[in-house]
Amino acid sequence: MIASSSKSSIGSNSSNSNRGEQRRRRAGGARAVTAATGGSSAAASTPGNAVNSAFDQPDYFLNRELSWLEFNARVLEEALDPHQPLLERVRFLSIFGTNLDEFFEVRIAGVKQQIDSKSGAFGPDHLSASEVFDKAQKRAHELVETQYRCWNEQLIPALNAVGIFIHSSTKLPPAAAAWAETMFREEIFPVLTPLGVDPSHPFPQLLNKSHNVIVLLDRPAEGDTATAIVQIPRVFPRLLRIPDAAAAELGPGAHHVFLQSLIRNHLRFIFPGLVVKESYAFRMTRNSDLYIDDEEAENLLHTIEEELRRLNKGNAVRLEVQAGCPPEVEKFLLENFRLTEADLYRLPGPVNFLHLQPLYMSDAYPRLRDKPFQPATPKALPLGADIFEVMRRQDVLLHHPYESFQSIVELIERASEDPQVLGVKMTLYRTSADSAIVRALVEAAENGKQVTVLVELKARFDEMNNIRFARRLEEAGVHVVYGIVGLKTHCKMLMIVRRDDDRIRLYTHLGTGNYNASTARFYTDLSLLTTSAELTAEVAVVFNNLTGLSEFHGGKKLMLAPFELRERFHALIARERDIARAGGAGRIIVKLNSLVDERTIVALYEAAAAGVKIDLIVRGVCCLRPGVDGVGGNIRVISIIGRFLEHSRIYWFGNGGDPLVYLGSADWMPRNFDRRVEVVFPVEDAALKARIADEILPAFLNDNAKSRLLRPDGTYERRRPAGDEKPFQAQLYFRNLARGQKVDKPPTKVVAAPVAPAHADAR
pLDDT tens digit string along 525-539? Answer: 999 999 999 999 999
- CA–CA separation, 592 vs 616, rounded Å? 8
> What pLDDT is stored for residue 680 in this prediction?
97
CA distances from 221 to 224, 238, 274, 645 (A): 8, 35, 9, 58
Amino acid identity, residue 117?
A: S
CB 320 within 8 A of CB 351: yes
CA distances from 433 to 437, 438, 440, 641 (A): 10, 9, 14, 27
Among residues 497, 585, 506, the alpha carbon closest in space to that of 538 is found at 506
483 — pLDDT class (breaks 50, 70, 90): low
- CA–CA separation, 705 vs 717, rounded Å? 12
Q: Percentage of the chain surpassing pLDDT 70?
A: 85
Among residues 283, 296, 259, the alpha carbon closest in space to that of 14 is found at 296
- CA–CA separation, 53 vs 261, rounded Å? 59
Among residues 441, 380, 435, the alpha carbon closest in space to that of 407 is found at 380
* DSSP structural state of residue 547: H
* DSSP structural state of residue 223: T
Q: How many residues does the chain have?
A: 763
The interaxial angle of helices 109-116 and 129-149, nearest 10 deg, is: 150
Among residues 109, 112, 103, 122, the alpha carbon closest in space to that of 61 is found at 122
Q: For the chain, which domains are there?
A: 64-368 (3.30.1840.10), 375-547 (3.30.870.10), 559-738 (3.30.870.10)
CB 545 within 8 A of CB 552: yes
pLDDT tops 80 at residue 433: no
pLDDT tops 60 at residue 76: yes
pLDDT tens track for 15-69: 333 334 443 333 333 333 333 333 333 333 334 344 468 888 899 999 999 999 9
Q: How many CB atoms lie within 10 A of CB 304?
A: 22
- CA–CA separation, 412 vs 515, rounded Å? 11
More confident residue, 740 or 581: 581
Bridge partners of residue 587, in order along the sequence? 613
More confident residue, 213 or 53: 213
Separation of first and last alpha carbons in the chain? 43
Among residues 715, 750, 763, 723, the alpha carbon closest in space to that of 142 is found at 715
> What pLDDT is stored for residue 705 in this prediction?
94
> What pLDDT is stored for residue 336 in this prediction?
95
CB 211 within 8 A of CB 283: yes
> What pLDDT is stored for residue 465 in this prediction?
62
- CA–CA separation, 644 vs 72, rounded Å? 15
Pairing of strands 396-400, 523-530: antiparallel
More confident residue, 486 or 440: 440
Q: pTM surpassing 0.75?
A: yes
Among residues 269, 218, 734, the alpha carbon closest in space to that of 525 is found at 734
The answer to whether residue 490 is catalytic is: yes
Q: What is the DSSP string of 138-189?
A: HHHHHHHHHHHHIIIIIIHHHHHHTTEEEE-GGG--HHHHHHHHHHIIIIIG
- CA–CA separation, 495 vs 509, rounded Å? 7
624 — pLDDT class (breaks 50, 70, 90): very high
Interval 659-675 mean pLDDT = 96
Q: Is the sign of the CA dihedral 374, 416, 423, 484 positive or negative?
A: positive
Phi/psi region, residue 126 (left: phi>0; alpha: psi -120 to 50; beta: rest), is left
- CA–CA separation, 671 vs 651, rounded Å? 18
Bridge partners of residue 495, in order along the sequence? 425, 508
Interval 462-482 mean pLDDT = 76
Contact partners, residue 485, CB within 8 Å, separation at least 6:
3, 4, 5, 10, 16, 19, 20, 23, 294, 295
> What pLDDT is stored for residue 291 in this prediction?
47
CA distances from 506 to 363, 391, 499, 524, 680 (A): 43, 10, 9, 26, 18
Phi, psi dihedrals of residue 525, rounded to the nearest 5°: -150, 170
> What pLDDT is stored for residue 632 in this prediction?
77
- CA–CA separation, 210 vs 283, rounded Å? 6
* DSSP structural state of residue 104: I
4 — pLDDT class (breaks 50, 70, 90): very low
Q: Is 298 helix (H, G, I), strand (E, B) or coil?
A: coil
CB 241 within 8 A of CB 356: no
pLDDT tops 80 at residue 413: yes
Interval 150-177 mean pLDDT = 96
Q: Percentage of the chain surpassing pLDDT 90?
A: 70
pLDDT tops 90 at residue 377: yes
- CA–CA separation, 20 vs 3, rounded Å? 8
pLDDT tops 80 at residue 308: no
Q: Is the sign of the CA dihedral 327, 330, 336, 340 positive or negative?
A: negative
Listed in sequence order, the DSSP H helices in 254-343 are 259-264, 300-311, 327-337
Rg of the Cα trace of the chain?
Answer: 28
Interval 448-475 mean pLDDT = 74
CB 435 within 8 A of CB 455: no
Listed in sequence order, the DSSP H helices in 384-521 are 387-393, 406-417, 436-446, 463-475
Amino acid identity, residue 447?
A: N
Phi/psi region, residue 324 (left: phi>0; alpha: psi -120 to 50; beta: rest), is left
pLDDT tens track for 314-343: 789 999 999 999 999 999 999 999 999 999
> What pLDDT is stored for residue 48 in this prediction?
38
Interval 624-634 mean pLDDT = 88
pLDDT tops 50 at residue 311: no
CB 319 within 8 A of CB 345: yes
More confident residue, 759 or 284: 284
Interval 457-462 mean pLDDT = 52
More confident residue, 576 or 364: 576
363 — pLDDT class (breaks 50, 70, 90): confident
Amino acid identity, residue 403?
A: E
CB 370 within 8 A of CB 86: no
Q: Is 259 helix (H, G, I), strand (E, B) or coil?
A: helix
pLDDT tops 90 at residue 120: no
> What pLDDT is stored for residue 475 in this prediction?
86
- CA–CA separation, 401 vs 15, rounded Å? 44
Among residues 170, 169, 180, 281, the alpha carbon closest in space to that of 229 is found at 281
- CA–CA separation, 754 vs 240, rounded Å? 51
Interval 649-659 mean pLDDT = 96
Interval 180-196 mean pLDDT = 96
pLDDT tops 90 at residue 550: no
pLDDT tops 80 at residue 606: yes
Pairing of strands 523-530, 504-511: antiparallel
- CA–CA separation, 170 vs 265, rounded Å? 6
Mean pLDDT computed over every residue of the chain: 86
- CA–CA separation, 241 vs 609, rounded Å? 60
CB 121 within 8 A of CB 403: no
> What pLDDT is stored for residue 497 in this prediction?
98
- CA–CA separation, 755 vs 255, rounded Å? 52
Among candidate residues 400, 490, 509, 647, the one labeled active-site is 490
CB 281 within 8 A of CB 355: no
- CA–CA separation, 376 vs 371, rounded Å? 15
- CA–CA separation, 757 vs 454, rounded Å? 46
Q: How many CB atoms lie within 10 A of CB 45?
A: 12
- CA–CA separation, 414 vs 419, rounded Å? 10
pLDDT tens track for 686-714: 999 999 999 999 999 999 999 999 999 99
